[in-house]
Structure 1
Amino acid sequence: MDAGQVQQVRSFNRAVTRRIGVLSDSYLGGGRPLAEARVLFEISRDGADVRDLRARLSLDSGYLSRLLRSLEGQGLVTSDRARDDRRVRRAKLTRRGLKEVAELDRRSEEFAGSLLAPLGDAQRGRLVAAMAELERLLRASAVTVAPADPAGADARACLEAYFQELDRRFETGFDPSRSVPADPEELVPPRGLLLLAHLDGQPIGCGALKAEGAGVGEIKRMWVAPEARGLGVGQRILEALEAHAARTGLDVLRLDTNRGLAEARAMYVRNGYREIPRYNDNPYAHHWFEKRGLRQR
């Protein structure tokens, strides 16, 4: 990793924390630190499950509990067991908490305006565009990609969402039982691998590898949630599957895809896959691809 890039990130972090008042114990002049203000904002008017708060804010469970106890002690928040699942605690704003969040919103709007006001029109446009790009890239850097149990809840959720999207997008709909199978037992080492991508504790993508024997494997179940597209998740999953294939002795990867998935075909071509004649009887496939020389990388 480039040392200059690392130093730029550190410099940026110092500039931002100083400029937005992270170091103050009275964020936006509201009399409480940023952490408490952010938890109030995330609970918002609709309330929030505590486990979701923890995931969204990347907070240690003990620290979040202390923040919630503090806010409860100030009469701003209540937390109770969810009616439909007693294992889940749900935080809600009190009437006083709702007023506090409304004031936080007002102060936040005012502060955002104070950042933009000294700049000319061109500078404001550049700053806002840079912020949007930075937010997107920070979200991308928060994505994790790791092996997962194909029978686990997150894997099942991803695969079900994947099948539902194919059913919407394919001209003839999609029935998994008619497609070339990729059963859970085929997607665990040494026969295969399933990777899941997570963001803020939620599964947002998947990709699988099946070993077909004689140094050949097949890419299956490549999918990224619509809200996470544009973050490079599919590329990371594909690269990780290729690296695993090479480590386990596979030198050739194949895959098939539907003509309605133009973005997927573009990614495969961009990564060195070339179109080949049909190699299976998948009724939903219109294009077949192959990549060779994985072990030479």
Structure 2
Amino acid sequence: MSVEVRTVPADLPEVDALLDAYLDEREATFPAAQGAYSRKRTPAAEFTPPTGVFAVAYADGVAVGCGGLRRIADGVDESGSTDVRFEVKHVFVTPTGRGAGVATAVMDHLERAGADLGATGIVLDTNDSLVAAGAMYRSRGYQRVEPFNANPNATAWYRKAVR
């Protein structure tokens, strides 16, 4: 499978379809012990340059994955300096795209975009029940940090320095 990742407007029909599938899957697989899944979609406007981007991965012209990047409030990095933060949101790969490097290609694209937009840190939150996602983030150099938001679906927060 040949994968091409492109920055697209976040209000395209294929983005809506991917995000609906993402939210449906998360709701259906959310750990019951953690309560009800909070079904929330980031507004498309937050994924508009220069404060964000949205990426879709295509395989043979079919949308098979996506992810967004948006500017959030500055933080403080491990050295005590101001951290210009961008947050990864809604990384999703369709069942047909899984195992083909789609998530890696989307993350590569989003991290490059963050660097181009001036990020010094890229952050994300996830749920520990998403074992493969957590492993991928850690393998990319993301390190667990204290919570930076109040996402009720999240159990783990990560940051990666942008060099």
Normalised by the size of structure 1, how large is the TM-score? Answer: 0.49
1:186 alignment partner, one of 46, 54, 74 = 46
Tell whether the 8 Å contact from 2:64 to 2:94 is kept in structure 1 after alignment. Answer: yes
Amino acid at match of 1:161: A
Identity %: 32
3-state SS of the aligned residue for 2:72?
strand
Name the counterpart of 2:88: 219
Name the counterpart of 1:126: none
Deviation per CA, 1:170-229: give whole Å up to 9, x if none. Answer: 02443323xxx5210001111110000111222110011011144111010001011211
1:253 aligns with 2:122: yes
**Number of residue-to-residue matches in the alignment:** 151
Q: How does 1:92-241 map to 2 (within 5 A)?
A: 139=1, 142-171=2-31, 172-177=35-40, 182-214=42-74, 215-241=84-110
Q: How does 1:8-157 map to 2 (within 5 A)?
A: 139=1, 142-157=2-17
CA–CA distance in 1 between the matches of 2:101 and 2:9? 23
**CA radius of gyration, larger in:** 1
Tell whether the 8 Å contact from 2:38 to 2:152 is kept in structure 1 after alignment. Answer: no
Normalised by the size of structure 2, how large is the TM-score? Answer: 0.88
Deviation per CA, 1:32-87: give whole Å up to 9, x if none. Answer: xxxxxxxxxxxxxxxxxxxxxxxxxxxxxxxxxxxxxxxxxxxxxxxxxxxxxxxx
CA–CA distance in 1 between the matches of 2:147 and 2:10? 27
Which gives a bigger RCO, structure 1 or 2 (Cα 8 Å, sep 6+)?
Answer: 2
3-state SS of the aligned residue for 2:133?
helix
Moved segments of 4+, more than 6 Å: none
Tell whether the 8 Å contact from 1:182 to 1:210 is kept in structure 2 after alignment. Answer: no
1:269 aligns with 2:138: yes
CA–CA distance in 2 between the matches of 1:182 and 1:210? 9
CA-CA distance at 1:263 after TM superposition: 0.5
Deviation per CA, 1:87-122: give whole Å up to 9, x if none. Answer: xxxxxxxxxxxxxxxxxxxxxxxxxxxxxxxxxxxx
Q: Which has the higher strand share?
A: 2
Tell whether the 8 Å contact from 1:257 to 1:288 is kept in structure 2 after alignment. Answer: yes
Name the counterpart of 1:74: none
Tell whether the 8 Å contact from 1:169 to 1:260 is kept in structure 2 after alignment. Answer: no
RMSD over equivalenced CA pairs, Å: 1.2
Tell whether the 8 Å contact from 1:150 to 1:187 is kept in structure 2 after alignment. Answer: yes
Gaps of 5+ in 1: 1-138
Tell whether the 8 Å contact from 2:93 to 2:102 is kept in structure 1 after alignment. Answer: yes
